[in-house]
Amino acid sequence: MDSHTTQDATDLAALIATGAASPQELLQEALDRVDAVNGTLNCVVLTQEDVARSDIAKGLPDGPFRGVPFLLKDLGAEARDFPSHNGSALLRDTRYSYDSEIFLRMRATGVVTFGRTTAPEGGVGPVTEAAVYGGPTRNPWDPERTPGGSSGGAGAAVAAGIVPFAHGSDGGGSIRIPASNCGLFGFKATRARFPDGPAAGEGWAGMATDGFLTRSVRDNATMMDACAGADKGAPYAAPAMPVSYSEAISRPPKRLRIGLCDTTFTGKPIHADCAAAVRETALLLESLGHAVVPMVPQADHLGMMRAWTRIVACGTALGIDHALKGRPLRDGEVQGVSRSAIDFARTISGADYLDAVGEIHAYGRKMAAVFDECDILLSSTMAEPPAVVGRFTHDRDDFENYRTGPGGVFEYSPFCAAFNASGQPAASVPMHWSAEGLPIGVHLAAAFGDDATLIALCAELEQAKPWAHRWPPVCAK
């Protein structure tokens, strides 16, 4: 790997600012990396090299990442110059007549966007295996395993060194799952920290948000600072932060009360590698002076997931209905899980939907009370190491069982969606690698609005146990 590939976005921007590298040079290196690894990983799609080169020629904004190559998730982040499949044959080559506010804020940092990264249809699922891309997206650490979802293409692209960071989004763990599976840092901010307009006021009853997958905490902090704040007409906004994300990581947090959960939130055992990652991180936190106490958060976690499943089924069905514009759905336009989500949504009345939203809100109040007893809740990000490709395929017709049934998504990923439901900030930090060389993330969550404390702790862990030197086998080829 060349030296530029191994640097984070902050360092690359500094090289450009001093003239030691150029935006054109870094763009070409990123495109060369796509050529080198995309045949194996299938993570980058809809490349727009001409747009990227034109943006450089016209002059890039003088932001903190001026000239650094960047990728958008192929779901959301609507932009005139970047068509999207949205993970679905039904929405293949969608073009937009407007730029979303989140895209405008990302562009203002000076990044050179040149394409999109793969996502599962509808953003549903912990894997990225959408039929529209002609095959599954694979994990750079082991191509037989998934990089996660729904921001799986972003995770694979960053882990493989194509770009130093990428846009993602998270409605049930969709940033944090790929971060864990790919050995990256992923942060889900407090609900409504970032804009959803102009296309929407909220996603999935407020559970979904944009965010970023990065190799360093500081890159994530800088990009979140650039994108934070409600857009005009937003239905609600996150509480103001006492300091910016970047200011928060400039110094360690106060010594904190850490609640340690090395099981699922319902008390069930998790994979030994995941439990070991949690316990090792707890020991490290104690060595840094934090107080760690065992804790299992008390709330109706399975009830929350059932409510989440009803809300997301309705959102999936509504999105497909809008795309169809009144015509019937044809065979092959959506995958089995999406088709079964439509069928499931038809059984849910308006009252049922509002009741599910009420359950999510009640769950949020229970989780808020957990942080009366601790400042940070520590767990594994996943209950297992990265799943084998095909295990959570969308070519099945049992949406509800897919999510909450035996062996389903909730058993594999029982932690992340809790904080989409509660709206609280949460992060996956790459603190452990298994004996097989697979990344295992640990999950940290904080009270609603307390993003600053959370990211400061993440930065302290990064300094105490760095991970940037670790690269997957695909990068050695």
Active-site positions?
73, 150, 174
69 phi and psi angles, rounded to 5 deg: -65, 150
427, 185 contact by CB (below 8 A): yes
Which tokens belong to 332? 């092959």
Paired tokens of 356: 């599910």
Let me know if 229 is exposed, middle or buried by CB neighbors in 10 A (0-12, 13-18, 19+).
middle
Instruction: List the structure tokens of 429.
Output: 């930090």
Q: Nearest 5°: phi and psi at 346?
A: -65, -20
CA–CA distance, 87 with 459 (Å, rounded to integer): 33
Rg (CA), the chain: 20
Backbone angles phi and psi of 32, in degrees to 5:
-65, -35
User: Contact 415/380 with Cβ under 8 angstroms?
Assistant: yes
* Amino acid at position 321, single letter: D
- What is the identity of the amino acid at 6? T
Question: Cα–Cα distance between 209 and 228 in angstroms, integer?
Answer: 11
Supply 316's token pair: 């999936």
- How far apart are alpha carbons 339 and 317 in whole angstroms? 8
Output phi, psi for 301, to 5 deg: -70, -40
Instruction: Look up residue 123 and give its DSSP letter.
Output: G
Query: Judging by beta carbons within 10 Å of its beta carbon (0-12, 13-18, 19+), is residue 275 exposed, middle or buried?
Result: middle
Decide if 162 contacts 44 (C-beta within 8 A).
yes
Q: Where are the beta strands (DSSP E) in 365-412?
A: 376-380
CA angle 76, 239, 421 (to 5 degrees): 55
Q: At which residue do the structure tokens 């969308």 appear?
A: 394
Which amino acid type is present at position 446? A
Strand order in the sheet with 69-73: 44-45, 112-117, 69-73
Q: Which amino acid is at 324?
A: L
Q: Tell me the CB-side half-sphere exposure of residue 345, using CA atoms within 13 A.
A: 18
Cα separation, 221 vs 226, in Å, equals: 9
Please say whether the dihedral angle defined by the alpha carbons of residues 297, 298, 303 and 307, taken in this order, is positive or negative.
negative
